[in-house]
Amino acid sequence: MKRLLLILQITLIVSLATGQTFQDMLNRINNLPEPDRQPVVDSFMNSGHTFPYIESDTVTHFIFRGPALNIKVAGDATEWNPQLIMIKISGTDFWYHTISYPADARLDYKFVMNGSDWILDPLNSHTCAGGFGPNSELRMPSCEVPPELSFYPDITHGTIKDTTFRSEVLGNSRTIKIYLPPGYNTSAGDYPVILFHDGLEYISLAKANNILDYLIAHQKIVPVIGIFVPPVDRTAEYAGNKMDRFTALIVDELMPVIDNKFRTSKDSKKRAMMGASNGGNISLYIGLKHPEVFGKIAAQSSNVISEITTTLRDGKKVDIEFYVDVGAYDIGELIPLVQGLVNILQVRDYPFRFYKWNEGHSWGNWEGHLRYPLIQFFNMNIIK
């Protein structure tokens, strides 16, 4: 019997290596008596596979081993609702769920055990930082890690200065970070500017300083000054009743100080602003209110309030260039808002670029594509 079981294990491993499917493996295991199933599972798990186990570039098998009453998968693809139910093979500690994603998808996810315990996938070493801590990261075969996310000790680096800024119009203070590109202190002349909303997260979660360093070092963009501004009352400032006062903070209070202290270009075509989600919303809002201050606006996975849509559709056309993107697995209510924004930009013949990525509403998405608006706005062939 042991010899027969060994032959079955070897046959199973060889079959998976020579074109047999995961479903074929499941069929073979389920045809065995329950006491004989666990050793075959052990052989599969010890055969050098990476997990989640992916077949044919698109078929994904989430796998978990261990005791549990039930396990579900939640993540970008489910809007973080634990909807994907994992199946347990009786007689084993093996759980799985099979689903298909595009070959270039990148998605955050977690396992939810027994309805309440949210855990990283123990079999997947790839994680991605998120606003509520790290998540497991599914990278499908055609999705590559952008090189600019890493820190390279052999290239020159910009410097980051911290300052506390007091807003009289809002009656509060916040820590603002300023990125000065390599060579700033030994050069003359003005520099283009980009302001990031949710600025501290664009550094800590999206690695914006690494990305700027890399793109500048590889001459993908001109050296640029980065201004990283965090919210204090995020929803109200970015999409609520404090939007106008927050706009005044940026335009009337902060930027005059920045312009006075640093060698920033005053040409609106060399001044950009961007954000993600509601940060994209406030970028669009301020840009439309003050195109003379910021002539380039990027919105990642953005909320788009009706005032923005109405202004763009019915108001006077302003001199702004746009970058817009959204995830195919983004928050469901945002996708039509972004598509509506894009339709208006197209009808009114605004200069813009739009991308829809096979990703979700996450910092992994936004960091992975941050180079696109930066290169669009600050390409060395455009900025002189």
Helix (H, G, I), strand (E, B) or coil at 360: strand
The whole-number average pLDDT for the span 144-157 is 96
Helix (H, G, I), strand (E, B) or coil at 68: coil
Reported as a single tens digit per residue, the pLDDT across 85-113 is: 999 999 999 999 999 999 999 999 999 99
Query: Which CATH class for the 51-144 domain?
Result: mainly beta
277-to-153, 181, 240 alpha-carbon distances in Å:
32, 27, 14
4-18, 235-249, 290-304, range with the lowest pLDDT: 4-18
pLDDT value of position 380: 81
SS (H, E, C) 94-131: EEEEEEECCCCCEEEEEEEECCCEEECCCCCCCEECCE
Beta bridge partners of 75: 109
pTM for the full model? Answer: 0.93
Q: Which of 30, 39, 29, 28 is nearest to 3 (CA)?
A: 39
How far is it, in rounded angstroms, from Cα 279 to Cα 286?
11
pLDDT value of position 16: 52
Beta bridge partners of 60: 54, 99
CB neighbours (10 Å) of residue 48? 7
How far is it, in rounded angstroms, from Cα 339 to Cα 248?
29
Structural domain boundaries in the chain: 1-49, 51-144, 148-378
Reported as a single tens digit per residue, the pLDDT across 277-290 is: 999 999 999 999 99
Q: State the pLDDT confidence band at 383, using cuts at 50, 70 and 90.
A: low
Q: State the pLDDT confidence band at 20, using cuts at 50, 70 and 90.
A: confident
The whole-number average pLDDT for the span 249-273 is 98
CATH superfamily of this structure's domain 148-378:
Alpha/Beta hydrolase fold, catalytic domain (3.40.50.1820)
pLDDT value of position 47: 85
The whole-number average pLDDT for the span 196-216 is 98
Q: What is the DSSP letter of 376?
A: H
Q: State the pLDDT confidence band at 7, using cuts at 50, 70 and 90.
A: very low
Residue 236, judged by CB atoms within 10 A of its CB (0-12, 13-18, 19+), counts as: middle
How far is it, in rounded angstroms, from Cα 248 to Cα 168?
10
pLDDT value of position 359: 98
Reported as a single tens digit per residue, the pLDDT across 332-368 is: 999 999 999 999 999 999 999 999 999 999 999 999 9
* pLDDT above 90 (res 292): yes
Residue 299, judged by CB atoms within 10 A of its CB (0-12, 13-18, 19+), counts as: buried
* pLDDT above 50 (res 313): yes
Q: State the pLDDT confidence band at 5, using cuts at 50, 70 and 90.
A: very low
The whole-number average pLDDT for the span 135-154 is 97
* pLDDT above 70 (res 312): yes
Write down the mean pLDDT value for the chain: 94
Q: State the pLDDT confidence band at 384, using cuts at 50, 70 and 90.
A: low
pLDDT value of position 48: 85
